[in-house]
Structure formats: structure tokens, C-alpha cells
């Protein structure tokens, strides 16, 4: 039995919207036959874009609005003044049960604020976290938090571990993903109080988490664990540092090949391999940072994403829905709760 | 006028010691004619190694000790029990004025603890920081702290900014290096209290620092600023993440070239360029993490360094000495102090 998944799209969010959004949805439709799309945005712009996809047009449903959230709008302002924006209406469609998940390439802060306000948190999760897939020597891993929470305590990190684990199950299809806590060393006495306390809870007997222990910065790309858990400050710096380093090394590759005649011949022959490589490490290939912890599925696409990147973000949202991500989190929370020492024992 | 610089070496520290140490010193001697070396370690092992370098032998002075600090020794234990170790005696030579600087490839924690105990801090600097050169699109930048201080307040970050700036002057020869504070965004309201307060102090009128403002993770490899300042937790994660990412991308380069016949031909021609490239991003090429803030010059070489890497670390120590690093710091501190609001005004 297959179920139809209805995806709400903020058709006006992102540098190349709305054309990129419609094109991305069309790519996703071909990949995922059991999907329908609610497009929120400017009808006069969206209708001709949808009309190009004759065979798919019936699966697009346009819901008109003139308003959109500006890319530089402050989250608090967007929340107050953006009630009729394409972003907010798309989120509300999930809250009202008209859609199963929402995808936007718009303003990250506004999306987080609106999604948190409209969808609320999963009971038992204190704060939402941003997660993404990252490329590794072994394939792909999940990393979180990537910037939603600058400061985190041990309880936040434990909840992130649980959500990251469930995300790896539903999106990467791993049956028992390993989870590591990012630290500056692997010994138990390393790091600050929050990581040490979180580690103690995650390694407690009966923990529902397959906890590896501490990992270090170089373990991210090595793929030492399936899920790398950290606070939003550290995750944001690490992710951007990795992106910058990948660009640097690729620049070195190009200039190394420019330096000698034989190497230039090599570049002629190897050029297409290098182009493929650039794509492989392009952050847009790992599109679809997900807000975990919300009582609904909301995926943030990279603002500069092209249609292919946006289709990948849609794929992440649909996978989460089909694999019952929210139910898995609720179940995992229950098991964590049974494990944690009760604040006041009844007996 | 040139001055002779006497370098104290922990001849027994590092994976490939003592042969690597003697060989590294010999390379450094050829590069730096006005240097002499005090080698602390096992005389029976060192004498035959030194004898291989006939022309240089007169510039080596062996000081025998049987003891060495184990690579896995706890810093506190090394400090108590390692008073006659090769590492400690080399550090003490600087404290006693017998040498101008010390270089060791041994146990990092022990080196930090011993150097802090024996050399003391520069008056006005609260905590030592580990700094290193990192490769960028524009050349090289300085990054600190790389792990000496897990948690830092605004005052620590301001002092790191000053020390990093002076380090860039003395080692990279930059006349007015730009300094950036690592953050998760470039806007002034981003980040936690310590980075915001440090930023306010560094951008105050009359600040001796050429302060760029906040930078993000991808600015490190882009070379946006000459000096990247952060706390030891974040610096450690960022540096190791960059190393891991460089390895990942190089692995992708190799496997991309393996995937098609034309690309394999390309690899044959471009192979030497790739080997050169691997060297260019090898962390050992950026050897010589320096402990800044101590009242003496102490350089930590990578434990796995080869002779060339160790010679680079010696070069960093000698540059710092020749360019008057300690005096520059004292002078900069005075200017910072004149700038800071006085705790209790006299008039």
C-alpha cells in the first residue's frame, strides 16, 4: 500500500523562486509518483510555470497570495507581519492538516520562527535543531545542530542525539545508526560540562541510542559515526569551515593542474572527473537542512538552490513523512524518559 | 648586525625522535646560519646522530638526560615527576636565559603545563593560547586559540586578538594584519555575549588592532582576515574539521580520476601535481603550533612531524625571537590598557 503525500511549498522563497520551485517540484514528482503539491505564491507567475508541465499539472494546486517574506526580514517582524506570506501559509497548511510537510528556500530565521509558532514543538522536546546530511569517506552522515541554538545544555544535546538518530533511520535508511558527540578529544574528561553530562546519559545502560562516544572535528568527514551531535554554534562553524576547506582544496587542485605542462594535459583528460567532483562536494548537493523537534515536518532548502537541489529537499521531507519520523521521535522520547532518573520518585 | 639565536630542543619528543629532531635541526641550521642548538636527551643516541653532520657538529650542544615525558602522560603528573625530563630541561634553559626559545614535538598537555609553570605568563595576559598558521586561498593566516582554553570570556578573546596580531607580524611579516572574530554570522547581534563584548572592545576608537569584525567558518580558508580569533573549543573543532575535509576532498579527487578511462589517463599526467597538492594541504606543512602568552618562546611541533616539519617549527621559533615577539606583546598590552576604561578613575 502506498500513501499520497501532499507537500506544501513556499513558491516565492529562494534566490531563483518561483521558477526554481516549480521546476524542482516537477523533478520530485517524476521521482516520487505518490506526491501532490500545494504551491503558495503569486498565481500570475505560477500558472504559466505550471502550464509547462502538462502531464504533471493536475498534481499542482496553486493557492494565491501577493505577500512574501523578504530575505533580510527579521524573524520577529516576519512572524508579526507575515501572516499572509507564501511561507506562512505553506507552514499553516501543515498545521491545519491540509499538507503532510512543508519545504521553503526562503529566509531561515523567519521559517524557524513561523514553523515553531504555527506547528509547535513535539511534547518533550525543548528546542528545535537544524540537521543536514554531510558527505563523508563512508557515504553520508547526519549532523546537528547547525545553528538553531547557540548555547545548549546536556538535555538539549541528548534530545538532539535522539532526533538525529531517528532522522538517520528515516532518511538514510540505517537500522541502528551510531551517534557521536563532538568534542575536542575522545577521553572522558575532555570538553565542557554539557558534553560530559550528555555523554554519561547517552551511555547509560538501557539507552535507546547506539552511542559511540566522543568524536573530534576530523571524524565528521571520516564518517566515524552516522550522526554527529553538537550545539548550534559549533555545528555552524564546523559546517561552514568544511565548505570553505572544500573550496580551498578544489582551488588547489585546479591550480596544481595549471602549473606544469604534463599536468595541464592531465587536466584536459581529467577535467570531467573534476567537474563531477566539484558537484560531489557542492553543499547544494546536500540540500535540505531540516528543522527537527517541531510537531510537523518542515525542510529548509538552501536559498541559492537550483531545481535539482530543491527537488532533493522535497525528497527529504517526503522520506521523513513516509517513514513516520514524528512517531519515531515520540516513541524514542518515551524510552528516554523511562530511562532518565525521575525528578521526584513516586514510591 | 645579526644575533645568534640559541634554540633548546626536546630531543626525545615526537614519534620519530630523536633522529627526526637532529635531522630537523640540521635542516634549520642550513637555512638559518646564526643559530645554535642545545639538545636535551639521551647522549648515547644523540652523539652518533650529530656526528653525521660534520660541518654542523660544532653548533650542536648535547645535554644528557635519561628521562623523557611519555606521550600519554597526564600533564599534572608530568609536571610533578618530570623535572629531569628532556622536555622540562629544554624549557628551563629558556627560563634560565641559556636559550632564546624551545621547540618540542612531545606531549602537548605536558609541554603547556611545564612551560606555563617554568616560564610564567607575560604580565597582563591571563591565559596562554595555541596558535598556528593555516593555508588559505590568499596564502596563510594565523588562527588561535586551537585548544588551550575550552571556555573563554571577552577579555581572553581580546588578548588572543592582540597576540595573534603580533604573531602575524613577526612570523608572516605583515605590517598591519587584519583580525576577525569567529562567529555564526556577520551581523552585530549574532553570537554569544563573549564575542559581542570582545567585538565592541576591539572596534573601540584608538584600538591598536586592525579589526575586521566577525567572520564565519568559511572565511578561514577564504583568507578573509590575516588572524582568526576564537576560543579553544571552537578553534580545535574548526582546525580538525578542516583537516578531515581536506582528506575527504583529496580522496574524492583520487576516486574521481579512477572512474573513467580518460580520467585515468589524466591522472597519469596529473599525478605529480596531485602529489604536490597533497603536500600543500598536509597539516604537517603548517607545523609549529605556538603557545602565545608565555614569558618565553615555546613552539610545539606536530608529534608525527618529519625532519622538514620540525625544521619549520624551529623556523617559527627563531622568527619570533628575531622579530622581538615578546616586546611587541608587552607594548601592545600597554596600548590596550591605555584604551580600556580605568576600573577606578584617579581624578
Using the predicted structure, report yes or no on whether residue A347 has a pLDDT greater than 50. no
As a CATH number, domain A1-125+293-323 is 3.40.718.10
List the grid coordinates of B288. Answer: 609549529
Task: Identify the band that residue A343 occupies on the pLDDT scale cut at 50, 70 and 90.
Answer: very low
Task: Identify the band that residue B1 occupies on the pLDDT scale cut at 50, 70 and 90.
Answer: very low
B173-224 tens-digit pLDDT: 889 999 999 999 877 778 899 999 999 999 988 888 999 999 999 999 999 9
Mark yes or no for CB contact A237/B233 under 8 Å: no
- Cα separation of A235 and A146, whole Å? 4
Q: SS3 of B144, please? A: strand
Q: SS3 of B93, please? A: helix
B126-154 tens-digit pLDDT: 999 999 989 899 999 999 999 888 999 99
Q: Count interface pairs A-B at CB distance under 8 A.
A: 207
- From the list A136, A236, A270, the residue facing B217 with the nearest CB is A236
Using the predicted structure, report yes or no on whether residue B75 has a pLDDT greater than 60. yes
- CATH match for B1-120+294-304 among 3.40.718.10, 3.90.180.10, 3.40.605.10, 3.30.1310.10: 3.40.718.10
What is the radius of gyration, based on Cα positions, of chain B?
21
- Each as own residue / partner, the long-range contacts of residues B91-94 (CB below 8 Å, 24 or more positions apart, any chain) are B91/B8, B91/B115, B91/B118, B91/B119, B91/B296, B91/B298, B92/B118, B93/B8, B93/B38, B93/B40, B93/B63, B94/B8, B94/B118, B94/B119, B94/B296, B94/B297, B94/B298
From start to end of A80-182, where are the E strands? Answer: 101-104, 129-136, 139-144, 178-182
A35-56 tens-digit pLDDT: 999 999 999 999 999 999 998 9
Q: Looking at the DSSP assignment, which residues form a beta bridge with residue B132?
A: B143
Mark yes or no for CB contact B273/A256 under 8 Å: yes
**Do residues B330 and B121 touch, judged by C-beta distance below 8 A?**
no
Across A270-274, B34-38, B40-44, B322-326, least confident range = A270-274
Question: Which of B54, B31, B49 minimizes the C-alpha distance to B39?
Answer: B49
Closest-approach residue (CA) in chain B for A237: B217
Across A318-322, B120-124, B274-278, least confident range = B274-278
Using the predicted structure, report yes or no on whether residue A138 has a pLDDT greater than 80. yes
A100-125 tens-digit pLDDT: 999 999 998 899 999 999 999 999 99
**Do residues A257 and A263 touch, judged by C-beta distance below 8 A?**
yes
For the whole prediction, is pTM greater than 0.90?
A: no
- All residues at 6 or more sequence positions from A216 whose CB lies less than 8 Å from its CB, including other chains: A182, A183, A184, A185, A186, B236, B237, B240
In CATH terms, the fold of domain A127-286 is Isopropylmalate Dehydrogenase (3.40.718)
Q: Looking at the DSSP assignment, which residues form a beta bridge with residue B143?
A: B132, B228
Mark yes or no for CB contact A257/B270 under 8 Å: yes
* Pairing outcome for strands B178-182 and B210-215: parallel
- Cα separation of B294 and B24, whole Å? 24
Residue A245, chain B, CB below 8 Å: the answer is: yes
ipTM above 0.90, yes or no: no
**Do residues B214 and B186 touch, judged by C-beta distance below 8 A?**
yes
Mark yes or no for CB contact A266/B268 under 8 Å: yes
**Do residues A146 and A236 touch, judged by C-beta distance below 8 A?**
yes
B319-343 tens-digit pLDDT: 999 999 999 888 888 887 776 554 4
Which residue in A157, A220, A242 has the most chain B C-beta atoms within 10 A of its own C-beta, making it the best mutation to test that interface? A242
- Cα separation of B298 and B112, whole Å? 9
Mark yes or no for CB contact A244/B184 under 8 Å: no
**Do residues A10 and A106 touch, judged by C-beta distance below 8 A?**
yes
Q: Looking at the DSSP assignment, which residues form a beta bridge with residue B179?
A: B211, B227
Using the predicted structure, report yes or no on whether residue A5 has a pLDDT greater than 50. yes
Task: Identify the band that residue A171 occupies on the pLDDT scale cut at 50, 70 and 90.
Answer: confident
The domain segmentation of chain B, as residue ranges, is: 1-120+294-304, 126-292
Task: Identify the band that residue A147 occupies on the pLDDT scale cut at 50, 70 and 90.
Answer: confident
Residue A304, chain B, CB below 8 Å: the answer is: no
Mark yes or no for CB contact A281/B243 under 8 Å: no
- From the list A150, A217, A248, the residue facing B241 with the nearest CB is A217
CATH 3.40.718.10 fits B126-292, yes or no: yes
- From the list B237, B252, B266, the residue facing A266 with the nearest CB is B266
From start to end of chain A, where are the E strands? Answer: 5-10, 35-41, 60-64, 101-104, 129-136, 139-144, 178-182, 210-215, 227-229, 289-292, 297-300
A297-316 tens-digit pLDDT: 999 998 888 999 899 999 99
- From the list A251, A262, A277, the residue facing B269 with the nearest CB is A262
Of the segments A126-135, A170-179, A216-225, B270-279, which one has the largest average pLDDT value?
Answer: A216-225
Residue A130, chain B, CB below 8 Å: the answer is: no
- All residues at 6 or more sequence positions from B332 whose CB lies less than 8 Å from its CB, including other chains: B162, B165, B166, B208
Residue B326, chain A, CB below 8 Å: the answer is: no
Percent share of chain B, pLDDT over 90: 67
Please give the residue that has the higher pLDDT: either A296 or B109. A296
**Do residues A185 and B74 touch, judged by C-beta distance below 8 A?**
no
Using the predicted structure, report yes or no on whether residue A346 has a pLDDT greater than 60. no
Using the predicted structure, report yes or no on whether residue A153 has a pLDDT greater than 90. yes
Mark yes or no for CB contact A270/B273 under 8 Å: no
Amino acid at each position: 500500500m502506498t500513501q499520497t503525500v501532499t507537500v506544501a511549498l513556499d513558491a516565492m522563497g529562494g534566490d531563483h523562486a518561483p521558477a526554481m520551485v516549480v521546476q524542482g517540484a516537477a523533478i520530485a514528482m517524476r521521482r516520487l509518483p505518490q506526491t501532490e503539491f500545494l504551491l503558495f505564491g503569486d498565481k500570475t507567475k505560477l500558472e504559466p510555470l505550471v502550464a509547462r508541465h502538462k502531464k504533471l499539472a493536475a498534481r499542482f494546486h496553486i493557492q494565491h497570495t501577493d505577500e512574501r517574506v523578504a530575505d533580510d526580514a527579521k524573524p520577529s517582524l516576519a512572524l508579526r507581519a507575515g501572516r499572509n506570506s507564501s511561507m506562512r501559509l505553506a507552514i499553516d497548511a501543515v498545521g491545519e492538516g491540509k499538507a503532510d510537510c512543508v519545504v521553503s528556500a526562503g529566509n531561515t530565521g523567519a521559517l524557524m520562527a513561523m514553523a515553531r509558532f504555527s506547528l509547535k514543538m513535539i511534547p518533550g522536546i525543548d528546542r528545535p535543531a537544524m540537521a543536514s546530511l554531510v558527505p563523508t569517506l563512508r557515504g553520508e552522515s547526519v549532523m546537528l545542530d547547525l545553528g538553531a541554538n547557540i548555547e545548549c545544555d546536556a538535555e538539549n544535546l541528548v534530545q538532539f542525539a535522539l532526533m538525529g538518530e531517528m532522522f538517520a533511520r528515516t532518511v538514510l535508511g540505517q537500522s541502528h545508526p551510531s551517534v557521536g558527540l563532538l568534542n575536542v578529544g575522545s577521553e572522558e574528561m575532555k570538553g565542557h560540562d554539557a558534553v560530559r553530562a550528555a555523554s554519561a546519559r547517552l551511555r547509560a545502560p538501557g539507552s535507546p541510542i547506539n552511542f559511540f562516544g566522543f568524536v573530534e572535528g576530523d571524524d565528521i568527514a571520516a564518517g566515524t559515526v552516522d550522526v554527529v551531535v553538537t550545539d548550534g554554534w559549533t555545528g555552524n562553524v564546523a559546517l561552514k569551515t568544511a565548505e570553505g576547506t572544500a573550496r580551498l582544496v578544489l582551488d588547489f587542485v585546479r591550480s596544481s593542474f595549471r602549473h606544469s605542462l604534463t599536468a595541464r594535459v592531465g587536466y584536459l583528460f581529467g577535467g570531467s572527473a573534476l567537474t563531477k567532483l566539484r558537484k560531489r562536494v557542492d553543499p547544494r548537493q546536500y540540500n535540505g537542512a531540516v528543522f527537527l523537534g517541531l510537531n510537523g515536518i518542515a525542510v529548509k532548502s538552501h536559498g541559492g538552490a537550483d531545481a535539482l537541489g530543491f527537488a532533493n529537499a522535497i525528497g527529504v521531507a517526503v522520506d521523513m513523512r513516509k517513514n513516520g519520523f514524528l512517531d519515531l521521535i515520540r516513541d524514542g522520547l518515551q524510552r528516554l524518559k523511562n530511562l532518565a532518573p525521575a525528578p521526584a520518585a513516586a514510591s
